[in-house]
Structures are given as C-alpha cells and as structure tokens.
C-alpha cells in the first residue's frame, strides 16, 4: 500500500446502483493507491464507493474496487496535495 484518501458526507447523497446493489445512496469514496512494481507505472489506484442503504441510515457498505481513468499513475494527483491527514496507522506487529 502507498496511501489511502477518503472523503464523504451523509448530508449530500447521490443515487448509486451496481449489478449487486440495485439502489443505494453514494455518500463518499475511498481511493487506495498501491505500488505497482510489475507495471510500467509507479502506482495503481482503485476506487471504492461508500454507500448507505435506503431506509437504514445506520448501515454503510463499501463497494469495489472500481478502476477508472486514474488507475495507472506515476504520482498522486495534484488535487490531493495538501489533503488533511487525520491519522497514520501504526505498523502491524507479527504474531
């Protein structure tokens, strides 16, 4: 993994549907960047949708991964420079 960016809101939802989820509200997204040593570019990005199920505001799902036009990149897009860092997880310790 290289980095993860997430954004969203519960106040401004858009309609979402997929083959497995016929109706939901898109409330955010997660971009996951990973190093790609076997590809001709430095990074691969997958996007995950964060959705809420209609009539159940307490249930959220993460659906994906989706590949878009930014799947193959050499650097993090400029629009994400200066993004607020909320926390960095500590490394996992082996058992």
In a domain, 53, yes or no: yes
* Within-domain flag for 29: yes
Question: 46-88 pLDDT, tens per residue?
Answer: 999 999 877 777 788 899 999 988 889 988 888 888 877 776 6
| 31 within a domain of the structure (yes/no) | yes
Residue 71 lies inside a defined structural domain of this protein = yes
* Number of helices (H), then strands (E), in the chain: 0, 6
- What is the pLDDT at residue 63? 92
Residue 94 CA to residue 83 CA, distance in Å, equals 31
pLDDT of 12: 62
Model pLDDT, residue 95: 63
Q: Alpha-carbon distance 14 to 24, whole Å?
A: 8
Domain encompassing residue 68: 3-79
pTM: 0.75
Distance CA 54, CA 85 (A): 31
Reduced to 3 states (helix: H, G, I; strand: E, B; else coil), residue 80 is helix
With respect to residue 92, please indicate whether it lies within any of the assigned structural domains.
no
């Amino acid at each position: 993994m290289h980095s993860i960016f997430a954004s969203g809101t519960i106040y401004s939802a858009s309609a979402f549907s997929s083959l497995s989820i016929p109706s939901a509200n898109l409330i955010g997204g997660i971009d996951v960047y990973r190093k790609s040593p076997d590809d001709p570019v430095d990074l691969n990005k997958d996007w995950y949708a964060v959705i809420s199920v209609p009539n159940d505001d307490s249930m959220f799902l993460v659906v994906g991964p989706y590949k878009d036009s930014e799947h193959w990149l050499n650097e993090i897009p400029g629009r994400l420079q200066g993004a607020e860092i909320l926390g960095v997880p500590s490394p996992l310790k082996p058992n």
